[in-house]
Structure 1
Amino acid sequence: MKRTVKISVIATAVAACGLGFMASAHADATKTLKFHSGLAQSRPEAEHIEHFAELVKEKSSGTLKVDVYHAGSLGLKEADMLRILQAGMIDMALMYGEYYKRDAPALASVYAQGAITESSQHLEVLPTLHSIYQKAYANWGIKTVGGVVAPIFDVGLHCKEPINTLEGLQGKKVRVWSGHLVDTFKKLNVSAQVIPQNDMYLALQTGVVDCAYYLSTVAKTVSLQEVTEYEAYLHPWAASPWMFGISNKIWETLDKQQQDALIAAGNEVWNQTQSLSVDEQRETTAREERVAMGIKVLPAFSADDVQTFVQAADQAWQEMAEKSGEEGLNYYQTVSLLTK
């Protein structure tokens, strides 16, 4: 009896060691990729990136893991991202073409505000945008595996006074987010300056600017209702998509199942976010929320004013593209033809 018990104990111990060895081997077989994102974890896009990581683990049968580092927590600069990925200094990153004006100036000319006047136009442009970014990043030794299609939010003028015409903006100072927009408003004889989002509230509060050109749908997240009382819709946001980029140096170390998992996961997130990008009900609900907060939503800018703005924006877009060289001009010509 004692001998039987002893043999049983030994067998159990051996089995346990075997399971421990298998678990250790499985852990060793799991490859982890570091993923840089400059977006705050509170942004909607961050949820989609986390979902991408979950899908990669699932589709690779646990052999590949993606660790997402939000809000630039790895200490990497967006302007350096092409060089960083090319060198394999980081495994993956959330890519946004307009950040790389120093190393790839043409990428800033791919898409611009005023390019679309109806949200549905964005869906027609997306395949071309995807192709352009995929090829451009490939030139830097970066493989793209899907990405996040940003929601097409309403863009409006948020002012301290009731302004919903281009004429009403004359003599006012407007906050914008890019040099292209500065040039656009200059052509309309309106003074505009680039002010970072984090400084926008104070600039409005202290009178540095009178109005903010901003994404109306998410205006409440930066408390614009506290420093502006009026809002008027101008056009839909021409939002460049976020791409998931992986260094070719890392890509080549992965087996086929892991590579396929990244592609399948990235495409799934792309398709999901594309289906969510244009949503009139979302925009209506957000507008009603702002009214409830006390914002006075004025009638939208007139069709004539919108057309005048679009013409100025297109001219500024073309000039920006020409300055960036032949490649940038080709991007402008390709995309702008789809939106006219």
Structure 2
Amino acid sequence: MYVHRPTAGTAGWTVHRSAVNANPAAATNITVTAGFNTTIANTVTMAFWASANDNTWGTLTGTNWLKTGLSNQYRNLGGSDQAHTAAYNIRPTIGAVANTTQTQSSSLAARTSIISWGQVAIPANDLCAAPAPLTSSTSCVNTAGTLTGATYTDIPTIDCGVSERSDVWYSFTAQSPNPTISLSSAPAGARLQLFSGACGALVSEACGNGSITASGLNIGTTYRIRVYSDPNEEGTFNICVQDPIPANDLCANFIQLTATGTCSPTAGTLLNASYTNIPVIGCGIATRNDVWYRFTATSTTPTITLAGLANARLQLFSGTCGALTSLACGNGSINATGLTVTGSLSVAKELNLAGTSKLNLASDITLVSDATNTA
């Protein structure tokens, strides 16, 4: 056996030229045709010969071809006779790979094969423990990646993924519960797998063929993305994580809340929200990104609370979206009084945070009825 290691500890091997098989006619001198130029430095090309008899393989010819360290031949003398041999061509620089010939002891039809490997750098994010960080955005902002030179990760519970496939890793901190993760310009059979948890205890959340639309992610939690292909294909790709605009970004697209006698939070976010033009802002602050909720009053004095969001503001309105009347404002909570009709609730921040790092904060909004005045 002959072992050729990469010239650097941070490098690995990739197929530089795929295997080419041939069936040459019967002869004593069997030639394996190379006839190609390597396009990267540090390549190893191997040639193989086989015949269906216990022939002896002998003389090897061809520029830069060797079989030092390899057995000259293998002969199976017990039952199904066959003989085969191999040789290698190591090139430290880019250049031509010559044809090579070996001689067998009698003229027989043979089978040949040739394949070339090239040395490549292992991707920096080849391991789960060293993911490349991604930041989600309102649009798809691509990050370039590659599977060339990657190795596979042993994942005990693979779930919806495919095991033993060369992969690379990314991580992101969720800024919304349902971001979309997308691959583009990727190799054939490209796959994505989303995980929560640490590398030693990964929990599969979702899989996708080129994209994943996640759901139920915890805002502020870091998740890992595994990129691979099935079957193993190398090559480059682009990846991005995109957050949606909140469904309740507009007054007319409010989320309905239900008043209860206890605090029952509803998760929300201001990530990617826009501001609403309100002609008569009342006690609120204009031109601040906001989202909208609506409830039907079941008591005259409900308490509306907001948690998990710095500098949070609440504003309570009556009326329709085109003719809002401000009823009350609060820094994190409102103790409403005198309600008798359906109200609309605007959640806004004191600062316009569009495009800032603070947008990874979530808000929980709760509507609680006065226990003594619940309808």
Alignment TM-score > 0.5, same fold? no
Pick the structure with greater CA Rg: 2
**Structure with greater proportional strand content:** 2
**Structure with greater proportional helix content:** 1
Q: Give TM-score scaled by structure 2 length.
A: 0.21
